[in-house]
Amino acid sequence: MQFSLQSAAETEAFGAKLFHALPEKCVVFLSGDLGAGKTTLVRGFMRAAGHTGTVKSPTYNIVEEYQLQQRLFFHFDLYRLVDPEELEWIGIADYLQEQSICFFEWPEKGAGYIGSPDVILSISTTEKGRLLEIEKIPAGIEIGDC
């Protein structure tokens, strides 16, 4: 399934649709080049969850944690990982056992430590904006048109 997203606002709107569609425990892999819109999508998701503060890429922190409406959300950016074993040092197994939604940017850098995703989204830039491709999603989840 592919979606053409013409602007950052449409990318955020897609993220908001994800908030309403995904189960309370879910692992989402986000693939795409630098600047493709991965964090923009997470921002839209977090806004729909009720977050009013800044949603930034956790490139230097590796993880940002949000607790909203009695729910947990984790946003990981693995871009700066040198070795996936570093994830063990931050307690990745504990994060993944939580009743939470975990977003992973650059998931390939965590291979062997972050398990299998429930959802795989790939974002690429085009002349007209972004192309978002859903590569994997649990059966029965409908995102609808953007």
pLDDT digits (tens, 9 = 90+) for 63-119: 999 998 889 999 999 999 989 999 999 999 999 999 999 999 999 999 999 989 999
DSSP code per residue over 86-117: HHHHTTHHHHHHSSEEEEEESGGGGTTTS---
Each residue of 7-42: pLDDT tens digit?
999 999 999 999 989 999 999 999 998 888 899 999
End-to-end distance of the chain based on CA atoms, in angstroms?
12
Q: How confident is the model at residue 59 (pLDDT cuts 50, 70, 90)?
A: confident
Residue located via tokens 């390939």: 108
Please, which pLDDT band fits residue 144 given cuts at 50, 70 and 90? low
Would you say 41 and 123 are in contact if contact means Cβ atoms under 8 Å apart?
A: yes
Are 88 and 13 contacting, i.e. CB atoms less than 8 angstroms apart?
no
What is the distance between the alpha carbons of residues 66 and 31, in angstroms, rounded to a whole number?
21
Q: Residue 50 belongs to what H/E stretch?
A: none
The CATH number of 2-129 is 3.40.50.300
pLDDT at 126 over 90: no
Residue 131, burial from CB neighbour count under 10 angstroms (0-12, 13-18, 19+):
middle
Cα–Cα nearest to 28, from 145, 130, 114: 114
Distance in angstroms (rounded) separating the CA atoms of residues 134 and 79? 21
Return the pLDDT at 145.
47
In this prediction, residues 130-142 reach a mean pLDDT of 84
